[in-house]
Structure 1
Amino acid sequence: MNTLPDTQAYTHPHQFLSASHDENSRRTRIVVLLTAVMMVGEIAAGFYTGSMALLADGFHMATHAGALGIAALAYGYARRHAGDARFSFGTGKVGDLAGFASAALLAIVAAVMAFESVLRLYNPVEVAFGDATLVAVLGLGVNLVSAFLLGGGHSHGHGHGHSHGHKAHAHTPHDHDHPHHDHPHHDHPHHGEAQPGAARGQDNNLRGAYLHVLADALTSVLAIVALLAGGALGWVWLDPVMGVVGGLVIARWSWSLMRDTASVLLDQTDTQLAGEVTEVVEGPGDVRIADLHVWRIGPDSHAAIVSVVAPFGLTCDAIRARLAPVHELKHVTVECRHAA
């Protein structure tokens, strides 16, 4: 009587959160608190002084506080459900979903900011320049502190930093090849932690929070410039003009974040990484890739499905060994089809 093999040695968790997930979550919660406190102060001061730039900064900060709150909730949700089997590839992309939401809110902020500023150009009001400037400077200080907190965990790079020289992942050997059959064989290797030298991916949830803070800082700087010029030179028109400029810059940031997060959510192929996979698999010249899918499943993690046409005797384990130096791959499925 045949005994079915034990699969425990071949199973693995699907937790693909960033290595800095918990630290980024803590930073974001601190910034949410700072932003909420400053938001109340700026809105109150804006109504008191009559400054459009200051009111815009306060109301936009309210929107940013909401977006930062979404980022904080996303970190918590991803951590709580990291082991939930309902998520096929874990919760590593929850942050990208939150980042997309942040980008949408940034776009709304930009549109409202520009619209209100244009209205103020045609209907100027008296501004208490001195009081408004003091509050704007205070708001800028809070924004800079927040940017410093989030910037400590924010990765600005987009490259992979590929390297083939480091030690390969250790895998438990398990061969599913049957030399006398011509049907496909699927191999799901167990992957350990990322290599110490691996380049850290970009956390789009943190990036969204970071851009909201930068948008606040930009609005504060523009408000300060407009208020100083208005008080010294009487250029009341500069206040709403700065609002239009700020809206255009924020819209550009919004588009960039929306584009990048959408590509992750839609499982867009990482062409650079796919090229590296093709290079290491087909390099020896004995196999050809028939089908290849490479996509991102977390800030530090990518998945790949590699289907190869190989001669008899070349196993899926051998193909998997070739992929070991590609440190970005944390979940790989190898399919071997044997040519006649």
Structure 2
Amino acid sequence: MHTLEHHHNFTAINHQGERRTLYVLLLTLTAMIAEITAGTIYGSMALLSDGWHMGTHAAAFCITLFTYRYAKKHSNNGKFSFGTGKVSILGGYTSAIALGIVALLMIVESTHRLFNPQAIQFNEAIMVAIIGLIVNLASMLLLHDHDHHHDHHHAEDTHKHHDHNLRAAYLHVLADTLTSVLAIVALLFGKYLGWNWLDALMGIVGALVIGKWTLGLLKQTSPILLDESIDDNYKQQILTQLAPYATVQDLHVWKVSGHHYSAAITITSHSDKTVAEYKQMLEKFDKIHHLTLEVHPAALCET
């Protein structure tokens, strides 16, 4: 049986991200169980609602962990043409949808409470918000993706190298942190100044900010899932490089994972360069990790 000379697996396994997500999931589940138990015993809706809210994020972390495990398990499975690199992208996209649903529910509930004020148990609610803030700050430290601080090495690439799956989990924690901070501010004003309406208003503000993060994550992940082409400037550089020696008949460059591009190029050669020489000319375009090059001699095309 003949084997291929190069691999087609562009799966980036983030072991550190998987481990961090597991720690955050355990931390979130512990806090969720404690709040639901305390809320049931003391009859506090604030504790119960925050506990179940943490449950929605625990579900999102389960999605993150599943995608890590699935991508790792099937990384060398031949059924996937370019490996399982897009599994983490799909996980990030799915988590973004879940985050958007949470934002919509927050807007609905906050709007309802704005026009139908309810009695607030300030001391218990503030305690819940502080506990939630502490848990979320610890989770943010665990999930912080250091890679997203580093731009790609190439100046023309404005996209940053980060794990979209881990970033989705991070945004879930960041959303919870934001709501905890806004809740504490609103509850303090409500307790000491009687501004009960501020609690509902802060909920709407938080939901809008979360919605903005959701759209940002969707804009990052959906083009990769839909095989969006690389920017026109990069393709033009390829055309310019080949122009003196060949005519490009077909050119496709697209992402096969969060960080890897594949290219399929068909050219009509006007020189005596070999396929290997053309590939060597294109090595400078190192965003392309997998290149399929089809070369037709000009004389053959004219007949």
Shorter-chain TM-score: which interval?
Answer: 0.7 to 0.9
1:88 aligns to what? 81
When you count helix as a share of all residues, which structure comes out higher? 2
Asked whether 1:321 is paired with 2:280, we answer: yes
CA distance in 2, matches of 1:291, 1:251: 39
2:18 aligns to what? 25
Distance verdict in 2 for CA 1:227–1:218, change over 3 Å: same
- 1:15 pairs with one of 9, 12, 21: 9
Q: Could you tell me which runs of 5 or more consecutive residues in structure 2 were left unpaired when the two chains were aligned.
A: none
Using the aligned pairs only, state the percent identity: 42
CA distance in 2, matches of 1:59, 1:21: 29
Q: Tell me how far 1:276 sits from its aligned partner.
A: 4.4
1:201-244 residue CA offsets vs partner (Å, 9 max, x unmatched): 33211111111111111111111111111111111111111111
Q: Is the 8 A contact 1:100 1:258 kept in 2?
A: yes
Query: Normalising by the residue count of structure 1, what TM-score does the alignment of the two structures yield?
Result: 0.79
Q: Could you tell me which runs of 5 or more consecutive residues in structure 1 were left unpaired when the two chains were aligned.
A: 1-5, 165-198
1:196 aligns to what? none
1:74 aligns to what? 67
Asked whether 1:242 is paired with 2:235, we answer: no
Distance verdict in 2 for CA 1:245–1:43, change over 3 Å: farther
1:125 maps to a residue whose letter is: Q
2:178 aligns to what? 218
Q: Tell me how far 1:78 sits from its aligned partner.
A: 0.2
Q: Is the 8 A contact 1:222 1:246 kept in 2?
A: yes
**Higher RCO (CA-CA < 8 Å; seq separation 6+):** 1
Q: Is the 8 A contact 1:110 1:247 kept in 2?
A: yes
Distance verdict in 2 for CA 1:57–1:249, change over 3 Å: farther
1:119-174 residue CA offsets vs partner (Å, 9 max, x unmatched): 112332222212321221121121112112221345256x643279xxxxxxxxxx
2:57 aligns to what? 64
1:108 aligns to what? 101
- The 3-state SS of whatever aligns with 1:17 is coil
- The 3-state SS of whatever aligns with 2:262 is strand
1:125 aligns to what? 118
Q: Tell me how far 1:72 sits from its aligned partner.
A: 0.7
1:239 maps to a residue whose letter is: D
- 2:154 pairs with one of 140, 158, 162: 162
CA distance in 1, matches of 2:155, 2:213: 31
Asked whether 1:333 is paired with 2:281, we answer: no
CA distance in 1, matches of 2:19, 2:198: 38
CA distance in 1, matches of 2:177, 2:124: 18
Aligned CA RMSD, in angstroms, stands at 2.5
- The 3-state SS of whatever aligns with 2:85 is coil
1:62 maps to a residue whose letter is: G
Q: Is the 8 A contact 1:39 1:59 kept in 2?
A: yes
- The 3-state SS of whatever aligns with 1:93 is helix
1:293 aligns to what? 252
Distance verdict in 2 for CA 1:279–1:213, change over 3 Å: farther
Q: Is the 8 A contact 1:42 1:136 kept in 2?
A: no
- The 3-state SS of whatever aligns with 1:225 is helix
2:117 maps to a residue whose letter is: P
Q: Is the 8 A contact 1:304 1:332 kept in 2?
A: yes
Distance verdict in 2 for CA 1:120–1:267, change over 3 Å: same
Q: Is the 8 A contact 1:42 1:139 kept in 2?
A: no
Q: Tell me how far 1:274 sits from its aligned partner.
A: 3.1
After superposition, residues 129-140 of structure 1 pair within 5 angstroms as 129-140=122-133
2:134 aligns to what? 141
Q: Is the 8 A contact 1:96 1:265 kept in 2?
A: yes
- 1:261 pairs with one of 203, 221, 226: 221
Q: Is the 8 A contact 1:309 1:339 kept in 2?
A: yes
The number of residue pairs the alignment matches comes to 295
- The 3-state SS of whatever aligns with 1:89 is strand
Q: Is the 8 A contact 1:56 1:113 kept in 2?
A: no
Q: Is the 8 A contact 2:28 2:54 kept in 1?
A: yes
Q: Is the 8 A contact 1:154 1:207 kept in 2?
A: no
- The 3-state SS of whatever aligns with 2:81 is coil
